[in-house]
Chain A
Amino acid sequence: MTGTATIIWATAKNTFISRFTVTPPIFWALQIVVTSFFTMYFFSLLAEYVGNPDVTVAFVVIGNAVQSIAATTLYSVSEIPSVEKHTGTLSSLMQSPAPMFTVFLGMSLFSIFSGAVAVTLSLGYAAFFFHVSFAGCNFLSMALTLTLTCLSLTGLGMLIGGAGLHLRTSAIIANVVAYIGLLISGVNFPVSYLPGWVQAASACMPLTYGVEAARAAVEGASPAEILHPLGMMVVLGLAFAVLAWFAFRFFERLLRHGGKTDAF
């Protein structure tokens, strides 16, 4: 096993243990089960109540199923450095010779795992509670879409998390991005409803492409037919990952030079 893989494995294992020590697995599962269902239910009720013919229950339900990945990846991943800082363990982590980017990448695997569980469960809800038909679904396209959505949002989360090394908390930035994502990514209504300049911002969000590709996959689109959204997620995910790497390097150096790991 190479050094990088060892670091990722060790930090991922440690995160799984510590998360389940603070929150018993039953409550972790309950959080995903309840939140995924009620988020979909809330927005589907809203869509039904408003009665816009363009926005069906299936439209909203699929959008929110994909969005459940954002709640567990983007937000949780971006929060990791801030939590370490808050609990006073960031100094210990920084004493290790391992690069912080690699350390936090390992830690983010728990969130990726949570995201995968949340979206699988949400799609189950879509089929069994909201009667969305998956009869014509292209499952390969769906799997590719969800994997890329998960990874690209993790990249965005890591980028925000990098700033969290320096800031008192990155939760505000993460929340704003997550909430704005919910508004501009076509989760609950078509992106075309947004003003032009907001549509430009929506084109920079991986969730926009994830939602678009998932809806197409449910209708049977093959991977070749959704190449554009899939490709955009790869491009954005890579861009965020590279930016996150630089952000971690920059803020790590800033903390070490200033001796501010415990500054709160």
Chain B
Amino acid sequence: MNHRAVVAGFKQQKIQFFSDPQWIIPSLVSPFLFTMVMLFLYGDDVDGPIVLQAVLGGGVLGMWANTLFASSFTISYDRMNGTLESIMVAPSSIYSILIGRSLWSTAIGLVNAVVVFVIAEVMFDADLTLANPVLFFVMLILTLFSLASVGMLIATAFIRTRMGRVLSTIAEYPIYVLSGALVPITVLPEGLRVFSYVLAPAWGIDAVKRAAIDGCESMFGVSMAVDVALLLALSSLLLAVAYVVTRRVERRMLETGSATRY
């Protein structure tokens, strides 16, 4: 991995974010919407833990949406704008560049979680005290790492297609359902829950909720150590798969000269 390419990828994604601020939607508007729908559904019965659950759920869904859309567009845009060739001729691997870009999207995910948290605190004046703030912060970082690994896989898988946008739109709500962020996966049919088990961030979400809300039980029925172990194992697997896919796609594009085919 090339450290300078990672930093450059991070910086480039930051510039792209501010010059084309439509990522504000998954980062800020969408988590706000999910949080508010849940709170309005509860009516007047909202108290601290419920608001916290809604805020965490909405915030995590926003992080999911940000990962999904930013990752699927990141290389598609280069392909569409004709800048993918320039990236390909650089001596650095696309993998390093994508790591840098995913890290920016992940960092924005953290910002959106904080913003939703502040909005809910101000609007509902609820007591949003975290059960274990240190553990919560650690688990949030690990969840962001798992989201970044998913983002890496999506970005590499979508390099060769011009349908990144369509595919990410197709994946959006199924992922919301399976993630367990707003609605615990225990309410899903058994057949669907299997898909949640392979989503690395779902284990992170489980751990985040338990660290934040006093008395919150695991939706997987496991200890927090198991949550963390599975999150790390699945995220590492995703990164490894992303690495293999990137190498293959990169080689294929160099052989066929199809970087600008659109």
Contact = CB atoms under 8 A, between A and B. Distances in A.
A5 interface: no
B183 A46 contact: yes
Contacts of B38: 46, 50
B177 A179 contact: no
Q: Is the interface of A mostly helix, strand, loop or mixed?
A: helix
Interface residue range, chain A: 35 or more
A175 B22 contact: yes
B18 interface: no
Interface residue range, chain B: 20 to 34
A169 B24 CA distance: 13
Contacts of A46: 37-38, 41, 182-183
**Closest 9 A-B residue pairs measured CB to CB?**
A38-B173, A175-B25, A50-B41, A45-B183, A171-B22, A179-B33, A34-B170, A189-B40, A179-B29
Contacts of B162: 22
Interface of A: 22-23, 27-28, 30-31, 34-35, 38-39, 41-43, 45-50, 52, 54-55, 87, 168-169, 171-172, 175-176, 179-180, 182-183, 188-189, 193-194
B93 interface: no
Given A35-B169, A48-B187, A193 B40 contact: yes
Nearest to B188: A45
Contacts, number: 90
B42 interface: yes
A176 B43 contact: no
A172 B21 contact: yes
17 contacts: A28-B166, A31-B166, A31-B170, A35-B169, A38-B174, A42-B183, A46-B41, A49-B183, A50-B38, A52-B43, A168-B20, A172-B21, A179-B29, A180-B33, A183-B33, A183-B40, A189-B41
A49 B187 contact: yes
A202 to B, nearest CB: 12
A41 B162 CA distance: 28
Interface string B84-114: 0000000000000000000000000000000
